[in-house]
Amino acid sequence: MSHIVGSEALAMIWKALGKPVGSSLPASAAKLLRQIGEHGWALRADIEDVIYDSDGRLHGLDVEALATSFGLPWRAVYPKPKARQDQVFGANCLAGADAAQFFITLEHLGFVLDVAPLIEVLFPAIRKKPNITDAEVSVLWYAKQRRKICIDIRAAKDTAGAPASERIETTAGYRAECHFKPSGEPVWMTVAGPRYRYRPSPFITAMMG
């Protein structure tokens, strides 16, 4: 799993992972997650409230830009107009499953987010669909992939010229490694979940005849 997020976002994520986990409000985050699932849409403010209540290290994160870099579409959403209305006012939102994928990706990166309350609301309807989106696949596979994923994020497609690296392990057991340019700018980071198992690269044995 790989994403290109830009240098500023990558630097912010790496710096945040190295900080101690502060106070959190898990009950408040869980309530907001259930509301997103029931409503079917998430405002940017809803997403910010969930991540701030879950992991204070994420304060200051540009939610809209990062979700876009993850390939998640923001859509203009409006309340259904009444018969006599000639205009409506809406806001940019992520669909419930797209919001779930955003939170899941942040959890894969090592941040403290329990997406289960949102998954529980979305899962029954998604399971009945004959065709689903990639975000909905993430919802279906959340339980079996949780803490088992290795994810990498990059500032750009070209990661050459970044020989230096640093490693950290979070208190939750996520193992992160970041590669830097000689200037100190981060260009590439990998994060492996605490239950991820590295697989050796396959090799071919030549047959001598």
* Residue that the structure tokens 């989106």 belong to: 133
Concatenate the DSSP letters of all residues of the chain into one string: -EEE--HHHHHHHHHHHTSPP----HHHHHHHHHHHHHHSEEEHHHHHHHHHHH-GGGTT--HHHHHHHTTPPPEEE-PPPPTT-S----EEEEEHHHHHHHHHHHHHTT-----HHHHHHHHHHHHT-SS--HHHHHHHTHHHHTT--EEEEESSS---S--EEEEEE-TT--EEEEEE-TTS-EEEEEEE-TT----PPP--PPPP-
Most confident of 27-41, 63-77, 156-170, 193-207: 27-41
Q: Could you report the per-residue pLDDT of 109-143, keeping only the tens digit for each?
A: 999 999 999 999 999 999 999 999 999 999 999 99
- State the amino acid at position 100 in one-letter form: A
Phi/psi region, residue 110 (left: phi>0; alpha: psi -120 to 50; beta: rest), is left
Mean pLDDT of the chain: 88
Chain segment 15-59, per-residue pLDDT in tens: 999 988 878 899 999 999 999 999 999 999 999 999 999 998 998
Q: For the chain, what are the domain ranges?
A: 2-80+89-148
Residue 8 has pLDDT above 70, yes or no: yes
pTM: 0.88
Compute the distance between CA of residue 101 and CA of residue 118 in angstroms, rounded to an integer: 10
Q: Write out pLDDT tens, residues 67-86.
A: 998 999 999 998 887 767 77
Tokens 């809209």 sit at which residue?
64
Count Cβ atoms within 10 A of the Cβ of residue 53 and give its class: 0-12 exposed, 13-18 middle, 19 or more buried.
Answer: buried
Q: Which of 147, 69, 164 is nearest to 113 (CA)?
A: 147
pLDDT at 202 exceeding the cut of 60: no
Tell me what percent of the residues of the chain surpass a pLDDT of 90.
Answer: 62
